[in-house]
Structures are given as structure tokens and as C-alpha cells.
Structure 1
Amino acid sequence: MPSATSATTADQAPPTTPTKQPTPAAPALFLTLIAVCSAVTAANIYLAAPLLTLIARDFGSAPSAVAWIASVAQFGYAIGLLLFAPLGDTVNRRRLVTGLTLLTTAALAASAAAGGTGTLAVAVFVASAATVIPQLLVPLVAERAPAAHRARHVAVVISALFAGIVAARVVGGLAGQAFGWRAVFLGAGALTLVLGLTTALVLPSERRPSTGHLLSGITALPGLVRRSPDLWRACVRQAGMFGAWSALWTSLALLLTGPSYGLSIATAGLFGLFGLAASVVAPLAGGLVDRFGAARVVRSAYLLAAVSVPLFWLGGQVMWALFAAAIAIHAALVASHVANQTLALTTTSTPATANTAYVVAGFAGGAIASALAGTAYSHWGWGGVCAVAGVWLLLGWTTTSVRR
């Protein structure tokens, strides 16, 4: 069977223009607002990760015993994507963004008031399921961008997404140390409410006849992925990449605050600044995708991620190796994400549904890898986490190295 890099023209050359002609590019202020809103709402998924030690202390548990809450957030996000993101093809996005904003805010407030790990997990699950607003906005950006610069416009939002993820770790760790973990959830809810409603007000007015039902998007996903080898490849490759990143990043606070380094929550949170530095890769990756196509960018990203895994393992004893590994894994993840998501958005005539399949695959891979990493850390320490990351990268690439 032919290799993935030679299977289709789309995997060799820049993505083709979708059948629907895009409208003129979004104004700068509109794109900026979408980017900021995406950053804030994406951060909600990762609020718990830098606060695990504080949450465990409050509930009288060991940090490793509450690590699963970070995985719950990713599973919740995957479920929310299945339910809500496909609706971007059929319903009024302004109303949908408004409703999801209110639901996310209420769930974050419930998280702050949780009296135990079970209640907290349920509230985090609901908040993560409802905070899928960025994945309703990214297809809109792709539709409005000129074809020659589509990947660059998508990269702006992706860069903001990763900035929000890093901010969740850095600001969340600092605020949690200063004011407690409950205040972090309350603050996130306030920001989500303001930015979500503001973004909803400026979204284009859409009059779309409702078709299907809430689960119609889920039923359409298998057939859509089956008919598009490019979409299938993008889904699997990003699941492998995001799983490796999630395994390492969600467990990193346990390493940094554990006996190996003994850092405080706030100091460990500052470690996320290295990931923020790597987020500048997104605009560069967007330009490379527009010029050379997705396949080359993804292949280079996988090579960089493969180098980062042994660096992370060495970082269990040497701090400089952790610095280098953090930059490398973020750069690889961002570049891979820009390439794969641009391909997913342009390979079918239903971009919102295709984007749902792509992001669900990525976050499902991330959630499973995070759960396995927590177990691996409890039994084999940091080396077990690195092994999980390495296996996920191997699966993500080898599974797509041949075409079905």
C-alpha cells in the first residue's frame, strides 16, 4: 500500500480551496476578539492541572489521587465537541455561543463551590463540555479568510489557544498559590462570561434553518471520516501528538512539586512560560502550510516531538533538559495542530463537522494518554510518563504511515 505522504495530492501540496467561496477576510479587531475569547475559554480545560496539589491538600488526599480530574476535563471537552461543535454547520452560532457561555460560567462557579472530588469532577466535566466555543469560531475564521492566507488566519486563533493553555498553568498556579484554587475557578468564570457574551454580540447574523437533531452530528462523523482519507490521517496524527503532549504536561506539576525538585505551586506554574515562548511557532507554521502543504510540516513536527521525549526523561534529574523539552514539545504540537486542522477544515464541504471529528480525536487521544500517565506516574514515576508519551507518538505516526 502506498505511503501516507504519497497517497493523495492533498497530502503533498497545500490544501485545496473548499467548494464554498470564502467571504472577505475578517477585520483585524474581529479576529483579535475571536482569538482572545478562544484563549480564555480554552484555558478552562486546563485549570485543574496546576492546582492538583492544592485541591488534594484541601480534600485530604495525595496529589496523585486527584490527578484523574485533569483527565475528566479532557473527556468532557471531547463529549462537548461531539454534541455542540457540529451544530456550527446548521444553527445560529450567535445563539449557540451565548448559551454555551452561560452554561460554562455556571459550571465553573459550581467547581469553585465543590465540597469533594466527586462534585468537583462533575462540575469540571460540564464546564469542559460547554467550553467548546473556540471550535465554533475556528471554522468561521477559515471561511472568511482568503484562500492564500487561510492557514495564517487559523494559526492566529491556534496561537491564542495555546497561549490560553499556558496561561492556565502559569496564572492559575500563581493565583492558586495566592488566593486558593477556588478563586481561580471563580475568576475563570467571570472572564468567560464577559468575553463569551461580547464575542456572541459581534458574530455575523445567521439565519439557518435547523436540520437534524442534537445527535445528528455524531451520526455523521464516521461516514465523513471514512470518505476522507486526509481527514482520517489528520485525526489520527493529532491524537498521537496531543496524547504525547498531554501525558507529559498534565503530569509535570507532580514532578516539579514532588521530591525530585520540591518546587512550590507558583514556581512550578511559571514553568509554563517556556510553552508560551514556543507558541510563536503558530504563525510560522501557518505560512509553511500555505506554501508547502500540511504533510511536510506534520512530519517535521513529529521528528521534533520524538526528540523531546528523551529530553523529558533526562529532565527527571536535570532541570535544563526540562527547559529544552518544554520548548520542543510545544513547538511540535503547535506546528502539527496548525497543519492538521487546516487540512481538516478544507478537505470536506462540512467544515464544522470535519473540525469536530478532528478535535474530538485529538482530545480523546489526550484524555486517554493523561489517564494512563497518571497511573504510570503512580507505579513507575516520571519514566513511566515518558514511556506513555513515546508510545503515543509511535502509534500516531505508524498507524497513518500506510493508507487503508
Structure 2
Amino acid sequence: MTLTSGRRALFAVICAVSVATIYVAQPVLAQIGGDLGLPEADLGWIVTTGQLGYLVGLALLVPLGDMFDRRRLIAGHLLLAAGGMALAAVAAHLWLLLAGLALAGLFAVVVQTTVAFAADLSPAADRGRTLGAVTSSVVVGILGARVLAGGLADLWGWRSIYVVFAAFLLVLTCFALKLLPSDPCARQATYGAVLISLGRLFRERLFVSRGLIAFFLFASFASLWSGLALPLSAEPWHLSTGQIGLFGIAGLAGALGASRAGQGADAGRANAITGGALALLAASWLATGQASWSLWPVIVGVIALDFAVQAVHVSNQHLLTAVYSHQTSSVIGGYMLFYSFGSATGATSTTAVYSAAGWAGSSLLGAVFALGALLVWAVERRAATDSRRDLLA
């Protein structure tokens, strides 16, 4: 099996479109609520349901990649995610909409199966470059989803978003079956055994340390992107939703710039890249913390933060897939559980802190999360050094 440039591009598109399905509702919540007659208090469930489905899928579906042909698994998950999108498109009641979004979120974990498959198809010397390209597309999907969803909703209403994404997913299903190589699975483990092996990872020092780094990393990331709209829409800026969305372009530039971090990981510098990027992440909050007084530092801070987050994310996955090459799907799925909990922690805590201490408090919180990740990295590095010293003694 080989990873051609065409297959690498297909992997990237699958990741971008699949992850976007979880986020497309965010800019059109008010429109959905008005159409379905929903009270404002219920709108949060529209986003939360997809994320909960995704969380369940990380634990229960991604490990299947260590058992079955991942070409067929990816195609099947894309097809079922398309079904969820189609169900959401025709929903006339909240419960039906939530059922469709839960189904789509559950099978959006095809992203992690795709990342693991791409890593396994890559030669060891080129794995970081592949992970950099594929995981950068995830950021493109997250940030681009908001722009595309807003445009489609303005033209044809919110239901058109789900129709278009269902069509995208169906097309990608066909491409996956036609263009991806088969992945004959020589593993004879049962599903229970695979889940047990996933559980055992939580006793591995490297896995837990990289997972904790991911937890703090994405808590800091979510602190910015879940809270930045608050100071930008308040005094003295009063920016519109569309204007605030343009800051996503700066974030996209930073994240895409970090795709080269994978090449550094291929050269054996993954650990050093992690430490340097985490220091940059903490420092970026000095700039984004100026949002109540000046916008230019915010743009610089957003670029730096997204660059740092993507660089660490690629380095983490490079290390984990190299060490646990016999169970890449399980290790990526387990790692992303830390990501999900971190994102949820950052998103909920930043708004609570903002209400009590303003954007200065939220910025301090984001910096504390970044410093937490840096501390975990430093402790793990010291422990690894001590272990090598003991082996040589």
C-alpha cells in the first residue's frame, strides 16, 4: 500500500468535510430556532448533540479501525454521516433534528480513522508531513464551515447547509471506495479486546502525557474561539457577526503555516517543536488579551495561537502513531478524547469567566491552560531523561 499525493488530498478533503458537519450549525442557530419555533434556551442543544455523538464515536467507533478494512470503514461512516445530514435537512421537529445531528456527529469520527489510515500508509520518514497536511485540513473544515454555512443560509436557508453536506459526503463515499487502497486486516482481535487495549493506553506514560497536553492545548484554543466574539461585539468595537468571522482567516493562516511542523517531526524534532510551540501559545495570550483596546495585536495573537496549536497537535500524533504503530486507530481515538474534554472545558469556562472578570479574565484563563500544557511537557521530558539515565547506569 502506498500514499500518493492524490490519496493524501482525498484524506484531507474527507477530514475537512466530516469535521465541518459538527460546526455548520453555529452561525445559523437563530435562523434554525426561528424556523422551528424553538425557545432560545434549547438552541444550545443543536451544537451540543453533535459533539456528544462525536465523543461517543471516539470511544466506540474509532477503535474499529484496528479490526476492519479501513477503506470500507471510512466509506461506511461517510455514508451514515450523510444520512444524518439528510435527516437534519428535512427535520420539522427538534427531536428529529437532534437525531440527525447525533447520527452525523457519531460518524464524523471518520476523521480519526482517516488520520490513522493516512499515518499507516506513510513511510516512517514521511509520516509527519502527511499528518501535517491531513490535520491542517481539519482546521480548514472547522473554520471554513462557519463561512460556508453562513453563505448558504443567506442564499437558500439553513436546510440547504445540510443538503449540500449530505451531497458532499455521498460523493466522498464513492471516491473513498474507488481511490483508497484496501486495508486487509490481519488482526484477529475481538471488539472487546480492542476496547481493553484502548483502556490499557491510559496506563502508558507517553500516551497520558500527550493526552494531557492535548487537553490543556484545546482548552486554551476553545477559550479563544468560544470567547473572542464577546469583547469584539462589545464596546468599543461593536463588530458584526460577519466581521468577527473574518478573524477566522487569521487563525486559518496560522494553522496552515504550522503544517510544516510535521516535517520537523520527521527529522526527530517533535519533542522540541512541542515545547517551543507551547511557549508561543502562552505568549500569544499577551496579544489576544488586548482585544478590548486594540485589534491589531489580536490578529497577531490569533495567528500565533493557531500556529502553536496545530504544531503541537501534529507533533503529538506523530509521536503516538510511531510508538503505537500496531494500534493507530485506538491511540488516535483515545488521544482525541482528551481533545474533546479540553475543548468542552475551555468553551464553558471562558464564557463564565468573561461574565465575572471580562476579557482580561478569559485571557488569563487561556494562558493558564497553555502553561498547564507546558508544565506537563516539561515533567514528561524530565521523566524521559531520568529513565534514559537509569537505563545507562
With normalisation by structure 1, the TM-score equals 0.83
| 1:134 partnered with 2:111 | yes
Q: Given the superposition, is the C-alpha separation of residues 112 and 374 from structure 1 closer, same or farther in structure 2, using an over 3 Å criterion?
A: farther
Farther-moved stretch of structure 1 (238-247 vs 267-276): 267-276
**1:31 and 2:8 correspond:** yes
How far apart are residue 302 of structure 1 and its match?
Answer: 0.8
The CA deviation at 1:90 is 0.8
Aligned partner (choices 246, 259, 262) of residue 222 of structure 2: 246
Deviating more after overlay: 207-216 vs 131-140: 207-216
Deviations 1:136-165, CA, capped at 9 Å, x for gaps: 122222222222221112111112222222
Which of 187, 201, 209 is equivalent to 1:233? Answer: 209
Instruction: Flag the structure with higher helix content.
Output: 2
Q: Deviations over 1:287-327 (max 9, x none)?
A: 21122421111111111111222322211342223211221
The residue number in structure 2 matching 1:152 is 129
Please, which runs of 5 or more residues in structure 2 have no aligned partner? 384-393
Q: 1:182 aligns with which of 138, 159, 165?
A: 159
Counterpart-to-counterpart distance in 1, 2:53 and 2:357: 27
Aligned to 1:365: 342
In 2, Cα distance between the equivalents of 1:379 and 1:195?
Answer: 45
Mapped contact 2:54–2:109 kept (Cα < 8 A): yes
CA–CA distance in structure 2, aligned partners of residues 80 and 194 of structure 1:
22
Task: After superposing the two structures, state which structure 1 stretch, 32-41 or 377-386, moved more.
Answer: 377-386
Q: Is 1:78 the equivalent of 2:55? A: yes
Distance in 2, Cα, partners of 1:115 & 1:254: 32
- Give the residue type in structure 2 aligned to 1:248: L
Residues 184-203 of structure 1: pairs in structure 2 closer than 5 A: 184-203=161-180
Per the alignment, do residues 400 and 300 of structure 1 end up closer, same or farther by CA in structure 2, a change over 3 Å counting? closer
Q: 5+ residue gaps in structure 1?
A: 1-22
Please name the residue that 2:331 is paired with. Answer: 354
1:167 is displaced (CA, Å) by 0.8
Seen in structure 2, the aligned counterparts of structure 1 residues 91 and 365 have a Cα distance that, compared at 3 Å, is same
**Residue 74 of structure 1 contacts residue 364 of structure 1 at CA under 8 Å; is this kept in 2?**
no
Give me the identity figure in percent. 30
Please give the alpha-carbon distance, in whole angstroms, between the structure 2 residues aligned to 1:333 and 1:124.
Answer: 27
Cα distance in 2 for partners of 1:121, 1:377 equals: 29
1:71·1:371 contact (CA, 8 Å) conserved in 2?
A: no
Cross-structure match for 1:395 = 372
Cα offset for 1:94? 2.6
For 1:106 and 1:226, the matched residues in 2 are separated by: 37
What is the one-letter code of the residue matched to 1:263? L
User: What is the total number of aligned residue pairs between the two structures?
Assistant: 379
- What amino acid is aligned across from residue 307 of structure 1 in structure 2? A
Give, in whole Å, the separation in 2 of the partners of 1:325 and 1:71: 28
Aligned to 1:341: 317
Distance 2:47 2:229 in 1: 12
Tell whether the 8 Å contact from 1:224 to 1:354 is kept in structure 2 after alignment: yes
Distance in 1 of aligned mates of 2:231 and 2:44: 12
Higher relative contact order (CA 8 A, sep 6+): 1
More moved, 128-137 vs 382-391: 382-391
1:219 pairs with 2:190: no
- Contact persistence 1:231–1:344 (CA under 8 A): yes
- Name the CA distance, whole Å, in 2 between partners of 1:111 and 1:97: 21
Q: Is structure 2 residue 302 aligned with structure 1 residue 326?
A: yes
2-side partners of 1:141 and 1:76: how far apart? 24
Q: What secondary structure does 1:324 align onto?
A: helix
* CA shift for structure 1 position 254: 4.8
In the alignment, residue 190 of structure 1 is paired with which amino acid? A
Structure 1, 81-90 or 123-132: larger mean CA deviation: 123-132
TM superposition score normalised by structure 2: 0.85
In the alignment, what sits opposite 1:98? 75
Aligned to 1:291: 267
Q: Is the 8 A contact 2:78 2:108 kept in 1?
A: yes
Instruction: From the superposition, tell whether residues 120 and 222 of structure 1 become closer, same or farther in structure 2 (CA, over 3 Å).
Output: same
Which residue identity does 2:345 align to in structure 1?
Answer: I
Question: Distance between the aligned counterparts of 1:248 and 1:124, measured in 2?
Answer: 25
Report the counterpart of residue 48 of structure 1 in structure 2: 25
Change (3 A) 1:151 1:127: same
Shift of 1:273: 1.2
The Cα shift of 1:397 comes to 3.0
Query: Residue type of the partner of 1:200?
Result: L
Counterpart AA for 2:225: W
User: 2: CA distance between counterparts of 1:75 and 1:57?
Assistant: 24
Partner of 1:311: 287
Provide closer, same or farther for how the CA distance between residues 263 and 51 of structure 1 changes in structure 2, counting only shifts above 3 A.
farther
Distance 1:381 1:173, change over 3 A: farther
Aligned to 1:19: none
CA pair 215-327 structure 1, distance change in 2 beyond 3 A: farther
Q: Tell me which amino acid in the other structure corresponds to 1:321.
A: P
Post-superposition offset of 1:268: 2.9
- Give the partner amino acid of 2:107: A
Deviation at 1:342, TM superposition (A): 0.5
Seen in structure 2, the aligned counterparts of structure 1 residues 269 and 114 have a Cα distance that, compared at 3 Å, is farther
Pair 219,375 (structure 1): closer, same or farther in 2 beyond 3 Å: farther
**Quick one: which amino acid aligns to residue 158 of structure 2?**
W
**Cα distance change, pair 313–299 in 1 and its aligned pair in 2 (3 A):** same
Matches of 1:142 and 1:251 in 2, distance apart? 33
The one-letter code of the counterpart of 1:336 is V
1:279 equivalent in alignment to 2:251: no
